[in-house]
Amino acid sequence: MSSGKKRKTRGDHFKLRFQKNFQALLEEEELSRNEGPDCPEPSKLPQRHFCAVCGFPSPYTCISCGARYFCVHCLGTHHETMYSTGTAEGVPDLFSFG
């Protein structure tokens, strides 16, 4: 094997077979540059709102702070956790039984 001739490997065969010319490389570069960002387009549907307490879709909004809630039980929990005095900025306590 010391005859001075380099032995070809299988990889060398594929490098030569699939070699691209300069024009093909330029076209490939141009195609990769023209691609837009990989983000989805904005939704055509309206934004969905979820309850701050339970996570279900929320049709209602707290009068005091604007937090979303699903039902009266979630509103009660929201008022218990956020407003410990029973009234919030002039809004009467709707859940007192006395």
The predicted-structure confidence for 43-90, as pLDDT tens digits, reads as follows: 999 999 999 999 999 999 999 899 999 999 999 999 999 887 645 555
pTM: 0.45
**pLDDT surpasses 60 at 34:** no
User: What b/e sequence results for 13-26 when a residue is b if at least 16 CB atoms lie within 10 Å of its CB, and e otherwise?
Assistant: eeeeeeeeeeeeee
Q: What pLDDT does residue 40 have?
A: 81
Range of the domain at 73: 48-90
- The burial class, CB within 10 Å (0-12 / 13-18 / 19+), for 51 is buried
33 domain-assigned: no
Q: For 66-75, what is each residue's pLDDT tens digit?
A: 999 999 999 9
User: For residue 98, what pLDDT is reported?
Assistant: 47
Structural domains counted in the chain: 1
* Token pair in block for residue 1: 């094997």
Identity of the residue numbered 14: F
Going 78 to 83 to 85 to 91, the CA torsion angle's sign is: negative
Q: Domain for residue 43, yes or no?
A: no
Is 72 domain-assigned?
A: yes
Do the beta carbons of residue 78 and residue 60 sit within 8 Å? no
